[in-house]
Amino acid sequence: MLMNKQVTTSDSLYYICLRLKKRLESVSQLKPYLNLAYSSAEVLSENQALLLSQKSTTSSSSSNQHHSFNSSNGSNFRVSALSNFSSTSDDTSTNSNSTSQLNSPTSGAPGLINTFCAGVLPATVNCDPVTQLWALFQQGSPLCVIFNIIKPAYSLPVISSDDMKTCKKSIYDFILACKNYLNFDNSELFTISNVFSNETEDLIKIIKVITQVIDLAPSIFKNVDLTEEFKQAAAVTDSKSKVLKELVETERKYVNDLETLVTYKEQLLNFNIISSEDLYMLFPNLNDILDFQRRFLVSLEINNLIDPKYQRVGSVFIHAQSFFKSYEPWSIGQKAAIDFINTSSMKLKNNSLIIGNELELQSFLIKPVQRLCKYPLLLRELVKYTDPNTSNNYNELNLALEISKKIANDINENQRRVENVEVLKKLYDKVVDWKGYNVNSFGELLFFDKIVVKDNSKSSEEREFQVYLFENIIIFFKELLPQQKKSSIASLKKKSQTNLLSNVNQEALGFELKGRISIANIYNISTVNPYLLNISWSGMKDTGSFLMKFKNEEIRTNWESCIRKLVANLQDDYNNSNTSTLNNLNLNERRSNGISMGSNRSSYISRTNSESTTFQALSNNYQLHSRQQSEIPISSSKRSTQDSIQSTKRSISESYKNQLPNNSVIVKLMYEKDLFTLMTPLDISVDEFLSKIEKKIKQCGGVMKGKVKYQDEDGDFIVIQSDDDWSLVKEMMKEVGDKVLNVWVA
């Protein structure tokens, strides 16, 4: 099987180029060109190091980080005096080839990569052999020299120049001569565009042709022995070198697997087996990923060959950070790709394909995500065996570990969110009665689990619930067992404890919605022990807290981190939307007084209808009440949202009202059976006021229907629809001297 194929140093692009370079160096006529290519590659490497250093400095200062990936101290940072080179004379009159003529690989990419290796080279290495060969081929004239050595009878003109047209003419002469005199087919040869391309795939194509050509004269272009290099690469002297060896060897295998996938992708396209859209869905960004991983491997190969104190493995990973973003579509679409394979197995069965069956294909498809998740484990071991006292780049390696962990977490998070979409679809059908609530207003599903919950506000036993954490709300469900399902349809409230105990091991047939807490009303989150999380909430009239008992510390940490982030985001939204007028209010004051967040993450969760529901408004009450004792974890006394105007006004504290701007009021908005609030200045037009009301209702998941009314001093309900109506409202507010305006939408 391809999965078990052994990959060696001979398969690595670094050693392929190193071998070819040494063979070319054995011919004296090519040495001047190789020296010039070396100088060009050296400048490109220095430019890349400088750009990465500048990028690191900028990032560090903007984020006030304590670590910098470029340990540019002492001998580890090379700044060459070579900024450009004039002319190099030799026996063959080779002229200079300005580095400006060299197209920087992926120069437009966010990762600032100018060479065919990633990161900053170690201090003892000036350039990599891959970039040197790339610079050599772009000169053009060395190709003609090679051909003339092979076929002196059909000698080509050798014109060394830094003029692009002249270089391209020499390349064209070489290609044409290979076709006419060396019996190469067009499909075997490269093009001029390939030579000036910055893609590793194009460079590999050129290397294959050049290798075939010089193999025609083995006595001149002698095979070189890389035994010493291979031994050095395989040597294990201590624990750190063992880990680095594992990193390099597994990276070689990974790159080889990516190459297999690219070949398979091309076969599917050539055989017209699946559409181009399905092809991208199966292999998103595959060619870009392979291109960078080859450069990534070149850097690891270099670091594996040098003294540990000069190694810059950390720099390689730090540089890779922006390129690893190419994996995002892969991680998001992995499930869809697997599903496609399962449903298209017959189409994909073809003996001509390099990957023979769907199981093997699935194994290949999960490799990119597996590889990204493997990096933190290997880097953790490298950090463990690196002595900070002897290594100049210990901090760099530590930062690389943190970056790799974040990337792996992001990948896992992407996959989890995709899975949650499927979970939510199933949940929608599984719940017996949503009580009229609109699931779309809950926001994104983030976490779900079976959790033991205990209410702190009364003497109650622990109860197990299916808990779903959404972006805007936490929902608690009770599992309905087979004998409960039938009775729940007739009456959700008639269940016996005996039935519950007798069906403990039976699979749940559905969920009964038992309670909910709005994220906007959570004001305190604390860890009781590694497994327990305490959550406190506060509303306009009620407060409470409850304990959530998780299966292990990792799950508790994930939930806690997520809830804290959601609450913090609400705080930020609130601060940003009210900076100019409410800069003296904190979030707790807003909760206790019922002030609206003014953001899409409202504490109000919409219902599609309000008839026959046992829910109370989330801005007023935070649990599901039943006609008998509630089984949910959050307790509160039942209250009506139909409070009197006087009671409503008293819920806004005098201290809070005194902090409002002189010309602003709090609007208490009654919508269906729910109540929520917003603040508005009185000096706006009636259209702006009505727009604010409509916007607030939409933010809360509702639909603006009916007219906006207020109650005047005589108790009459007056419609607000004209400037005159709005003027009367403002006059009434000034006469009454109050800061609370009560309106109804009906």
CATH of the domain at 547: 2.30.29.30
pLDDT digits (tens, 9 = 90+) for 570-627: 877 766 655 544 444 444 444 444 333 333 333 334 443 333 232 333 333 334 333 2
* Per-residue pLDDT at 741: 85
* Per-residue pLDDT at 506: 58
Long-range contacts of 203-206 (CB under 8 A, 24+ apart): 203/116, 203/130, 203/133, 203/134, 204/13, 204/16, 206/137
Q: How many CB atoms lie within 10 A of CB 642?
A: 10
Residues 6+ apart with CB under 8 A from 503: 481, 482, 483, 484
Structure tokens at 345: 């197995």
- pLDDT bin (cut points 50, 70, 90) of residue 323 is very high
CA distance linking residue 514 with residue 489, whole number of Å:
15
Say if 75 falls within a structural domain: no
208 and 286 together in one domain: no
Say if 99 falls within a structural domain: no
CA distance linking residue 397 with residue 375, whole number of Å:
12
Better pLDDT: 61 or 156: 156
Say if 250 falls within a structural domain: yes
pLDDT digits (tens, 9 = 90+) for 232-251: 777 778 999 999 999 999 99
Compute the average pLDDT of residues 708-726.
84
282 and 381 together in one domain: yes
Say if 328 falls within a structural domain: yes
Structure tokens at 512: 């009964």
C-alpha 412, offset from chain centre: 9
* Per-residue pLDDT at 64: 45
Q: Which of 79-83, 103-107, 279-283, 702-706 has the lowest mean pLDDT?
A: 79-83
Q: Which of 39-43, 151-155, 415-419, 506-510 has the lowest mean pLDDT?
A: 506-510
Q: How many helices (H) and strands (E) does the chain have?
A: 24, 12
Phi-psi region of 484 (alpha: psi -120 to 50; beta: other; left: phi over 0): alpha
Average pLDDT, the chain: 79
Compute the average pLDDT of residues 177-189.
94
* Per-residue pLDDT at 76: 38
| Structural domain harbouring 193 | 1-55+113-235
- φ/ψ of residue 7, rounded to 5: -115, 135
Q: What is the C-alpha end-to-end distance of the chain, expressed in Å? A: 70
CB 479 within 8 A of CB 508: yes
* Per-residue pLDDT at 59: 58
* Per-residue pLDDT at 633: 42
CA distance linking residue 83 with residue 47, whole number of Å:
9
298 and 415 together in one domain: yes
Say if 89 falls within a structural domain: no
Q: Which of 156-160, 338-342, 643-647 has the lowest mean pLDDT?
A: 643-647
Q: Is the pLDDT of residue 522 over 50?
A: yes
DSSP 8-state class, residue 623: S
207 and 127 together in one domain: yes
- Model's pTM, two decimal places? 0.68
Residues 6+ apart with CB under 8 A from 634: 455, 476, 515, 517, 537, 544, 546, 622, 623
* Per-residue pLDDT at 576: 66
Residues 6+ apart with CB under 8 A from 606: 437, 438, 441, 700, 701, 702
394 and 531 together in one domain: no
Q: Is the pLDDT of residue 507 over 70?
A: no
50 and 159 together in one domain: yes
CA distance linking residue 451 with residue 463, whole number of Å:
8
Compute the average pLDDT of residues 85-108.
38
210 and 273 together in one domain: no
* Per-residue pLDDT at 483: 62
* Per-residue pLDDT at 147: 97
119 and 32 together in one domain: yes
Say if 2 falls within a structural domain: yes
- Which of 653, 676, 652, 665 is closest to 744 using CA atoms? 676
What's the helix, strand, coil split of the chain in %, to 5?
A: 50, 10, 35
Distances (CA, A) of 55 to 112, 322, 390: 9, 12, 26
Say if 374 falls within a structural domain: yes
CA distance linking residue 239 with residue 384, whole number of Å:
9
pLDDT digits (tens, 9 = 90+) for 466-506: 999 999 999 999 988 776 544 444 444 444 444 444 444 55
* Per-residue pLDDT at 112: 64
Say if 22 falls within a structural domain: yes
Q: Among 202, 219, 235, where does a domain finish?
A: 235
* Largest Cα span, the chain: 113
Q: Among 572, 603, 619, where does a domain finish?
A: 572
Better pLDDT: 88 or 549: 549
CA distance linking residue 203 with residue 132, whole number of Å:
11
- Which of 10, 22, 25 is closest to 230 using CA atoms? 10
C-alpha 204, offset from chain centre: 31
DSSP 8-state class, residue 104: P
Q: Is the pLDDT of residue 114 over 70?
A: yes
CA distance linking residue 712 with residue 742, whole number of Å:
9
Compute the average pLDDT of residues 99-127.
68
CB 35 within 8 A of CB 21: no
Compute the average pLDDT of residues 390-413.
90
CA distance linking residue 218 with residue 603, whole number of Å:
78
DSSP 8-state class, residue 481: P
266 and 352 together in one domain: yes
Q: Which of 40-49, 511-520, 640-649 has the lowest mean pLDDT?
A: 640-649
297 and 402 together in one domain: yes
Report the CATH number at residue 703: 3.10.20.90
Distances (CA, A) of 625 to 298, 499, 632: 65, 22, 9
Q: Residue 139 half-sphere exposure, CB side, CA atoms within 13 Å?
A: 32
155 and 21 together in one domain: yes
CA distance linking residue 658 with residue 322, whole number of Å:
51
> Which amino acid makes up residue 652?
I
- φ/ψ of residue 48, rounded to 5: -65, -45
Q: Among 384, 399, 421, where does a domain finish?
A: 421
- pLDDT bin (cut points 50, 70, 90) of residue 696 is confident
Query: β-pairing, 664-671 with 740-745?
Result: parallel
- The total of structural domains in the chain comes to 4
User: 545-565: string of b/e by CB count within 10 Å (b at 16+)?
Assistant: bbbbbbeeeeebebbbeebee
Q: How many residues does the chain have?
A: 746
Element at 670 (helix H, strand E): strand 664-671
Placement of tokens 């003996």 in the chain = 351
Q: Is the pLDDT of residue 216 over 80?
A: yes
Q: Is the pLDDT of residue 729 over 70?
A: yes
The sheet with strand 708-711 has its strands ordered as 674-681, 664-671, 740-745, 708-711, 717-719
Compute the average pLDDT of residues 660-681.
77
Better pLDDT: 113 or 135: 135
* Per-residue pLDDT at 578: 53
Q: Is the pLDDT of residue 259 over 80?
A: yes
Q: Is the pLDDT of residue 193 over 90?
A: yes
* Per-residue pLDDT at 282: 92
Task: Identify each DSSP E strand in 23-93 by its residue range.
Answer: none
Percent of the chain with pLDDT over 90: 41
CA distance linking residue 280 with residue 370, whole number of Å:
20
Q: Is the pLDDT of residue 673 over 90?
A: no
167 and 198 together in one domain: yes
Placement of tokens 């009506």 in the chain = 640
Distances (CA, A) of 86 to 40, 100, 354: 12, 12, 50
Q: Is the pLDDT of residue 77 over 50?
A: no
- pLDDT bin (cut points 50, 70, 90) of residue 91 is very low
* Per-residue pLDDT at 55: 75
